[in-house]
């Protein structure tokens, strides 16, 4: 095998206008990816360890095998594309086209294990939300050691995960009456596909569909625990009446009460998020007790968000949790204390395409379509920018750089650290909102260290 020869680019640090600028540039230069000469190499493959969970049936095993074959073909396709453009392979981060979505497998597996352990410690069932990654391989990692149920945010996700062998799903958006026929069709293929309601009209539509198709649909009552986005008011008498209708309907399998404390994203630290978690539990228990006084049995209580589930200390009265972002995390979660920057498993690899050190400005090829325009945790850091630039090698924060604006395909970076940036310089960006940033990509390059070990394709559509 011929060894790859690598030529280093010239030093990317410019003469700085000040000692401070020079120092910042020097610190950043040590951590940034440099352009490399492309030598011949024999392709080596490092595959990830088997991420499929133990299958309960031969059908599940076959589905896992098929999924694995699909991943391998994606990796082959990447390599073929790379060779077509003069690159021998695409198995190293610095050989990937940008912008590119990277999933750090070591970090992702650690995040999954940590949440699974918390669920066990708190005595609740983990039904992870898959909307952040929308990816079968990631969901299999999330459900290791648990019962295997998942939460989805679209019916396209539901269909994709059903086809991959998942059999217990909660569609955690109030269902549109016009899509109930799809729910019935998908539900007939699995053990359970539960939906959410918070309005009597939707309940009536479910009952009509149930009578028409001679089916009973699993239904959760969505409860507003303080976010004020959707869900019934726990103080309103109409909410009790709606719960009574659900419990009594022959077309409905009343699953219980479900909440989402999205207001936890307004927290400034773990302590505040823990207070929100306690409030969510308190509101849920109070509503369940109120229903019990009227003779309405509530089978289960389901709650969850990443900030509350990483900080909660007591989940008495709760049966299951549904966090999702924790698998990837992002710059927002790090800012409010849900994780550290070192825990973020999703990043966007970008390349500097323009550099103006005299103006302390550079432009990267990752814009709003790659990073989203989520403004980030401005309540914690008003100058947070649109993501955190970090080093390609070890993901440590780069000093003196701020992502100040985004257009469709341009990201503007400003600050004294731009003295180290030249066209061709590589850096990673930890997005403010990994769920939205990930949605801009049709595939994720899965990495261990600097090695690309797999390619995952997320499910798209609604």
Classify residue 53: in a domain, yes or no: no
Domain residue limits at 26: 19-37+91-102+338-456
Task: Judge if 260 and 386 occupy the same domain.
Answer: no
- Furthest CA-CA distance within the chain: 78
Task: Judge if 323 and 382 occupy the same domain.
Answer: no
Classify residue 372: in a domain, yes or no: yes
Q: Which residues contact 214 (CB under 8 A, 6 or more apart)?
A: none
Q: What is the side-by-side order of every strand in the sheet holding 252-258?
A: 125-126, 320-321, 300-303, 252-258, 217-222, 192-197, 168-174, 150-152
Q: Are 459 and 67 in contact (CB under 8 A)?
A: no
What CATH number corresponds to the domain at position 149? Answer: 3.20.20.10
Give the CA angle between residues 138, 143, 145 to the nearest 5°. Answer: 135
Closest to 87 measured CA to CA, from 48, 43, 47, 45 = 43
Task: Judge if 342 and 319 occupy the same domain.
Answer: no
Classify residue 333: in a domain, yes or no: no
Structure tokens at 416: 């004294």
What CATH number corresponds to the domain at position 25? Answer: 2.40.37.20
Classify residue 44: in a domain, yes or no: no
Q: What is the pLDDT along the chain (462 residues), one digit of tens a residue?
A: 333 333 333 333 333 334 444 444 444 454 565 443 333 333 333 333 333 333 333 434 444 434 333 333 455 555 554 444 444 445 799 999 999 999 999 999 999 999 999 999 999 999 999 999 999 999 999 999 899 999 999 999 999 999 999 999 999 999 999 999 999 999 999 999 999 999 999 999 999 999 999 999 999 999 999 999 999 999 999 999 999 999 999 999 999 999 999 999 999 999 999 999 999 999 999 999 999 999 999 999 999 999 999 999 999 999 999 999 999 999 999 999 999 999 999 999 999 999 999 999 999 999 999 999 999 999 999 999 999 999 999 999 999 999 999 999 999 999 999 999 999 999 999 999 999 999 999 999 999 999 999 999 999 999
- Tell me the Ramachandran region of residue 424: left when phi exceeds 0, alpha when psi lies from -120 to 50, beta otherwise: left
- The pTM assigned to this predicted structure is 0.83
For tokens 């509350």, what's the residue?
Answer: 308
Structure tokens at 224: 């507003």
Task: Judge if 295 and 351 occupy the same domain.
Answer: no
- Tell me the Ramachandran region of residue 86: left when phi exceeds 0, alpha when psi lies from -120 to 50, beta otherwise: left
The number of distinct structural domains making up the chain is: 2
Classify residue 60: in a domain, yes or no: no
Task: Judge if 294 and 376 occupy the same domain.
Answer: no
Q: Which of 300, 327, 354 delimits the end of a domain?
A: 327
Q: Which of 295, 327, 359 delimits the end of a domain?
A: 327
| Residue 225 DSSP one-character state | S
Q: Which of 293, 327, 361 delimits the end of a domain?
A: 327
Classify residue 116: in a domain, yes or no: no
In 100-242, at which residue ranges do the beta strands (DSSP E only) sit?
A: 100-104, 125-126, 150-152, 168-174, 192-197, 217-222
Classify residue 85: in a domain, yes or no: no
Classify residue 7: in a domain, yes or no: no
Task: Judge if 370 and 410 occupy the same domain.
Answer: yes
Give the CA angle between residues 277, 166, 130 to the nearest 5°. Answer: 40
Task: Judge if 313 and 219 occupy the same domain.
Answer: yes
Q: How far is CA 80 from CA 43, 70, 74, 101, in A?
A: 11, 15, 10, 19
Q: Which residues contact 267 (CB under 8 A, 6 or more apart)?
A: 273, 275, 276, 307, 336, 337
Task: Judge if 275 and 379 occupy the same domain.
Answer: no
Q: Give the burial string for 141-157 (b: 16+ CB within 10 Å, else e).
A: bbbeebebbbbbbbbeb
Task: Judge if 191 and 137 occupy the same domain.
Answer: yes
Task: Judge if 170 and 304 occupy the same domain.
Answer: yes
Task: Judge if 187 and 301 occupy the same domain.
Answer: yes
Closest to 276 measured CA to CA, from 346, 337, 227 = 227
Task: Judge if 358 and 429 occupy the same domain.
Answer: yes
């Amino acid at each position: 095998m011929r060894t790859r020869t690598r030529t280093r680019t010239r030093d990317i640090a410019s003469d700085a206008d000040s000692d401070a600028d020079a120092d910042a540039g020097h610190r950043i230069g040590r951590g940034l990816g440099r352009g490399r000469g492309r030598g011949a190499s024999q392709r080596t493959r490092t595959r990830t360890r088997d991420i499929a969970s133990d299958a309960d049936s031969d059908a599940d095993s076959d589905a896992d095998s098929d999924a694995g074959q699909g991943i391998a073909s994606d990796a082959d396709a990447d390599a073929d594309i790379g060779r077509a453009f003069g690159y021998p392979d695409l198995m190293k981060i610095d050989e990937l086209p940008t912008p590119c979505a990277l999933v750090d497998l070591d970090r992702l597996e650690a995040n999954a294990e940590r949440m699974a352990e918390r669920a066990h410690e708190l005595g609740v069932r983990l039904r992870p939300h898959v909307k952040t990654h929308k990816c079968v391989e990631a969901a299999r990692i999330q459900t290791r050691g648990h019962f295997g149920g998942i939460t989805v945010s679209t019916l396209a996700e539901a269909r994709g995960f059903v086809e991959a062998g998942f059999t217990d799903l909660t569609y955690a958006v109030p269902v549109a009456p016009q899509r109930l026929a799809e729910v019935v069709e998908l539900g007939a293929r699995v053990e359970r596909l539960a939906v959410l309601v918070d309005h009597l009209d939707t309940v009536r539509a479910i009952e009509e569909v149930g009578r028409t198709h001679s089916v009973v649909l699993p239904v959760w009552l969505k409860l507003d625990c303080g976010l004020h986005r959707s869900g019934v008011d726990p103080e309103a008498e109409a909410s009790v009446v709606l719960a009574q209708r659900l419990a009594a309907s022959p077309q409905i399998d009343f699953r219980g009460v479900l909440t989402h404390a999205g207001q936890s994203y307004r927290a400034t630290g773990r302590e505040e998020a823990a207070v929100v978690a306690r409030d969510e539990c308190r509101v849920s228990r109070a509503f369940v007790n109120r229903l019990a006084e009227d003779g309405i049995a509530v089978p289960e209580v389901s709650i969850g968000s990443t900030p509350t589930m990483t900080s909660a200390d007591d989940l008495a009265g709760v049966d299951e949790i549904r966090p999702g972002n924790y698998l990837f995390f992002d710059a927002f979660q790090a800012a409010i204390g849900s994780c550290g920057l070192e825990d973020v498993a999703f990043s966007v690899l970008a390349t500097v395409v323009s550099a103006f050190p005299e103006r302390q400005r550079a432009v990267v090829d990752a814009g709003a379509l790659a990073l989203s325009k989520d403004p980030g945790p401005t309540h914690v850091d008003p100058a947070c920018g649109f993501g955190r630039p970090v080093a390609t090698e070890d993901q440590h924060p780069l000093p003196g750089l701020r992502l100040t604006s985004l257009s469709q395909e341009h990201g503007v970076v400003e600050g004294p650290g731009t003295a180290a940036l030249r066209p061709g310089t590589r850096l990673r960006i930890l997005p403010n909102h990994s769920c939205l940033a990930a949605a801009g990509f049709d595939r994720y390059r899965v990495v261990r260290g600097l090695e690309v070990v797999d390619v995952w394709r997320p499910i798209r559509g609604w």
